[in-house]
Structure 1
């Protein structure tokens, strides 16, 4: 199944649920986090399996990092997908939380 480019909605933060969400025709992707002061510890990302490999996870994580940057928060990539994405996108190094 091919996804129509640009068909996904913007990434939105659902603070009450502790996750960032992105809806698209046929489903929703999300990234779960917990707050630790000004840090977002991202523990899990999920894209419906029928949509794997279509760039939705990357689009979701990019939106998460952009919102974290805009709000002055830092990201702790406790999820392997987020950690891998961050390594491939050094332009977001300023958003990563220093190790404690």
Structure 2
């Protein structure tokens, strides 16, 4: 999977079978907050979301940012990967939600 980091748009993205999936994040106060994880249904179920979130949080750690999750998928991912020492964002809206 060829994951591309688009710093200008604050996204990590990948194209699979001509369809683009991405993670959108914000940087503030020393934290990298994943706000949205978008994987279209036609390419779902292939581990794409997990790979995108991992790439994003690996970037965060490599650059001294604290992993934060506002997107519900990223919240669950951080719970499953305590080695990242991430936290849930203050404006997390609950299961199935992403930031506005």
Question: Shared fold (TM-score greater than 0.5)?
Answer: yes
C-alpha change, 1:91 and 1:26, in structure 2 (3 Å) is same
**Within-5 A mapping of 1:1-100:** 8-9=1-2, 11-93=3-85, 96-97=86-87
Q: Pick which of 68-77 and 11-20 moved more.
A: 11-20
For structure 1, the 5+ residue unaligned runs are: 1-7
Gaps of 5+ in 2: 91-100
Superposition misfits of 4+ residues, deviation over 4 angstroms: 97-100
TM score, norm. by length of structure 1:
0.77
TM-score, normalising length: structure 2: 0.77
